[in-house]
Structure 1
Amino acid sequence: MKAVVVTAPGGPEVLRVQEVEDPEIKDDEVLIKVEATALNGGDTVQRKGLYPPPPGSSQYLGLECSGTIEAVGKHVSRWKVGDQVCALLGGGGYAEKVAVPAGQVLPVPPGISLKDAASFPEVACTVCSTIFMMSRLSSGETLLIHGGSSGIGTFAIQIAKYRGARVLITAGSEEKLAACKDLGADVCINYKTEDFVARVKEETGGKGVDVILDSIGQAYFRQNLDSLSFDGRLFVIGTLSGPVTEIDLRVVLSKRLTIQAAGLRYRSPENKAIIVREVEDNVWPAIMAGKVKTVVYKRFPLSEAAEAHQLLESSQHIGKLLLFP
C-alpha cells in the first residue's frame, strides 16, 4: 500500500509517499481501507520527531480516518466486511489501509459523506472527553473556546450550543470570527485587538465563564484563571505558546477553581472505547439532527501532504483539512 512517510524529523518537506507493507490486524481489530484522513496539530509535532505513536500503533501519521472495512479480527462481532465507518486512531491515517481496535470505530453518521466523516472522530472524542466527561459542562453554563475557528473549535461551538451552553470564542481575524458566529457562537472576541479577559467579564456581568477549553497554554494561563467564575474549570489540551507557567494558588483557592489537562492519543484502548461509545450515544444524534455539521476547509490528495501541513501550520484555514489516497 501507499503511505506518507516521514523521511527525517523536520518541516513539511520531509513528507514523502512511499510503498510500504500492509498492516496486519490483531484479533480485536479491523482493517479499514481509508477513504480520507484529517490533519491534526499532533501530526505536525510527530513530523518534527516530538510526538511518537503509542506502543503498538502505526508509525505513520494520522489520528483519524473514514473508510470501508476490509477485514475483521476473530474476536470482533459488531463490524463486518463492507461496513462504512470512521475511526479514532493512534496513528496510520495517512495511508491506504489502517488497522484499528474495534472499540475505536464508529458508524458513518447518516447524511454525512464517507469522505467527510473523517473530520469527526478526533475532534468529537477530544471535546466529549474534556469539556463534557471531565469538566461536566452543563446546560445553562458558559464556555470559552480559544481558537474557535480550528477543527476542535468549530466542532466544540456546535455541540456545546446543542447541549444548551452559552459559547464565547477567541479568534484572530474577522473572517474567522464571522465563521464562528455562523456556527452559533454567542460572543466572538478578536484576541489581536481586544483584551479577552475584559470582554469575558463584560459579557458575563463580571462573573466569568464556567469552563474554558484552551490549546494555547503558557501565554493564556493567568488570563484564563482571571476569566473563570467561582467553581470554574480550565481544561488545557495544548501548549502552542509553551508548556511552562507560574500559578498563583491564591486565585485557585479563592475561586475554588479546577485545572484539568489531558491528551487523547496515549489513553488506553479501553479508555478510548469508552469515549467513542459516549460520542456515538451523545454526539451522533446531534449530527443526525443537523445540529452539528462538518467544517472542511480544503481536501488534498495524499501526494500533497506537505502542502496540507504548510496550510495547517499557517493557521489560515477554518475547520478541518482532509487528505485522501
Structure 2
Amino acid sequence: MYAIAIREPGEPDVLEWTEHPDPRPGPGEVLIDVAASAVNRADLNQRQGNYPPPKGASEIPGLECSGTVAELGADVTGWQVGDEVCALLAGGGYAERVAVPAAQVLPKPTGVDLVEAAGIPEVACTVWSNVVMEAGLADGQLLLVHGGSGGIGTCAIQIGRALGARVAATAGSADSLRLCRELGADPAISYRDEDFVAVVKELGGADVVLDNMGAAYLDRNLSALAPDGHLAVIGMQGGRKTELDMGKMLVKRLRMSALGLRGRPLGGPQGKATIVADVRNRLWPLVESGQVRTLVHDRIPMAEAARAHATLEAGGVHGKILLVR
C-alpha cells in the first residue's frame, strides 16, 4: 500500500507518499480501506519531531480516518466487511489501509458524507472526554472555548450548545469571530483586542474552560473560572511551563485536568474504548440530527499532505482539513 512517511523531522516537505507494507488486523482489530483522514495539530508536532507515537503505534501520521471495513481480526464482533465507518487512531491514518482496535471504530453517522466523517473522531472524542466526561458540562452552564474557529473549537461550540450550555469563544480574525457566532458562541471574543477574563467575569465566570494554549493562558483561565469551575487543558500552543497560583484554586474550589487522548490505553475507565462507547451512545445522536457537524476548510489529496500541513501552519483554517484518497 501507499502511505505518508516522515523522511526526517522538519518542514512540511519531509512528508513523502511512499510504499509501505500492508497492515493486517490482529486479534480484536479491524482493517479499514481508508477513504479519508484529517490533519490535526498533533500531526504537525509529530512531523517536527516533538510528538512521537505511543509505543506500538504506527509511525505513519494520522489520528483519525473514515472508510470501509475490509477485514476482521480474530474475536471481532459487531462489525462486518463492507461497513462504512470512521475510527479514532493512535497513528496510521495517512494511508490507503489501517488496522485499528475494533473498540475504537464508530459507524459512519447517518446523513454524513463518508469523506467528511474522517474529520469527526479525534475532535469529538477529545472534546467529549474533556468537556463532558471529565468536566461534567451541564445544561445552563457557561463554557469558554479557546481557538473557537479551529477543528476542536468548532466542535466544542456545537457540543456545548447542543447540551444547553451557553458558550463563549475566543478567536483572532473577523471571519473567525463571525464563524464562532454562527455556530452559537455568544459572546465571540477577540483575543487580539479584548480581555477575555473581563468579558467572561461579566457573565458570572465560566463553569468549564477548554484550553489549547497551556502556560500562556493558565493564570487568566483560573481568573475567568466561576467558583467550582473546571479548567480542561488539551494543548500547549502557548508553552509548557509557568507558575500556578494555588490560592486562586483553593479560594474558588477550582479543578484542573490535563488529559491527552492519543497515549491513553484501550481499556479501563479512562481508556479509549470507554470514550468511544460514550461518544457513540450520547454524542452520535447529536451528530446524526445535525446539531453537531464537521466543518471542512478544504479537501486535499492525501499524497499532498505536505500542502495540507503548510496550510494549517499558515493559520486562518476554519474547521478541518481532510486528506482524501
**What's the TM-score once normalised by structure 2's chain length?**
0.98
User: Are 2:261 and 1:269 equivalent residues in the alignment?
Assistant: no
User: Are 2:213 and 1:226 equivalent residues in the alignment?
Assistant: no
Report the counterpart of residue 85 of structure 2 in structure 1: 85
Report the counterpart of residue 145 of structure 2 in structure 1: 145
Report the counterpart of residue 315 of structure 2 in structure 1: 315
**Aligned-partner Cα distance in 2 for 1:124–1:60:** 21
The alpha carbon displacement at 1:20 in A equals: 0.9
State, as a whole percentage, how many aligned pairs show the same letter: 52
**Aligned-partner Cα distance in 1 for 2:112–2:82:** 17
Report the counterpart of residue 253 of structure 2 in structure 1: 256
Letter in 2 for 1:224: N
User: Are 2:33 and 1:33 equivalent residues in the alignment?
Assistant: yes
The alpha carbon displacement at 1:235 in A equals: 0.6
Say which of 207, 212, 224 aligns to 1:210. Answer: 207
What is the CA RMSD across the aligned residues, in angstroms?
0.7
Residues 110-125 of structure 1 aligned to structure 2 (within 5 Å)? 110-125=110-125
Query: What SS is found at the alignment partner of 2:299?
Result: strand
Letter in 2 for 1:213: L
Query: What SS is found at the alignment partner of 1:170?
Result: strand
The alpha carbon displacement at 1:5 in A equals: 0.5
Query: What SS is found at the alignment partner of 2:134?
Result: coil
**Aligned-partner Cα distance in 1 for 2:205–2:56:** 43
The alpha carbon displacement at 1:160 in A equals: 0.8
**Aligned-partner Cα distance in 2 for 1:121–1:302:** 18
Query: What SS is found at the alignment partner of 1:52?
Result: coil
The alpha carbon displacement at 1:88 in A equals: 0.1
The alpha carbon displacement at 1:284 in A equals: 0.7
The alpha carbon displacement at 1:199 in A equals: 1.2
The alpha carbon displacement at 1:56 in A equals: 1.9
**Aligned-partner Cα distance in 2 for 1:103–1:308:** 29
Letter in 2 for 1:226: S
User: Are 2:229 and 1:245 equivalent residues in the alignment?
Assistant: no
**Aligned-partner Cα distance in 1 for 2:273–2:94:** 22
Deviations 1:285-309 (A, max 9, x none): 0111111111000010012111100
Runs (4+) off by over 2 Å: none
**Aligned-partner Cα distance in 2 for 1:31–1:278:** 22
**Aligned-partner Cα distance in 1 for 2:292–2:247:** 39
Letter in 1 for 2:223: D
Report the counterpart of residue 186 of structure 1 in structure 2: 186
Report the counterpart of residue 104 of structure 1 in structure 2: 104
**Aligned-partner Cα distance in 2 for 1:302–1:124:** 22
User: Are 2:48 and 1:51 equivalent residues in the alignment?
Assistant: no
Letter in 2 for 1:225: L
Report the counterpart of residue 198 of structure 1 in structure 2: 198
Letter in 2 for 1:251: K
Deviations 1:170-192 (A, max 9, x none): 00011001111111112100000
Say which of 219, 224, 236 aligns to 2:233. Answer: 236
Letter in 2 for 1:152: I
The alpha carbon displacement at 1:13 in A equals: 1.0
Query: What SS is found at the alignment partner of 1:169?
Result: strand
Deviations 1:45-84 (A, max 9, x none): 1101121112222110000000001000111011111000
Residues 169-180 of structure 1 aligned to structure 2 (within 5 Å)? 169-180=169-180
**Aligned-partner Cα distance in 2 for 1:37–1:183:** 24
The alpha carbon displacement at 1:223 in A equals: 0.5
Report the counterpart of residue 76 of structure 2 in structure 1: 76
Report the counterpart of residue 95 of structure 1 in structure 2: 95
**Aligned-partner Cα distance in 1 for 2:86–2:241:** 35
Report the counterpart of residue 16 of structure 1 in structure 2: 16
The alpha carbon displacement at 1:219 in A equals: 1.0
Aligned residues: 322
**What's the TM-score once normalised by structure 1's chain length?**
0.98
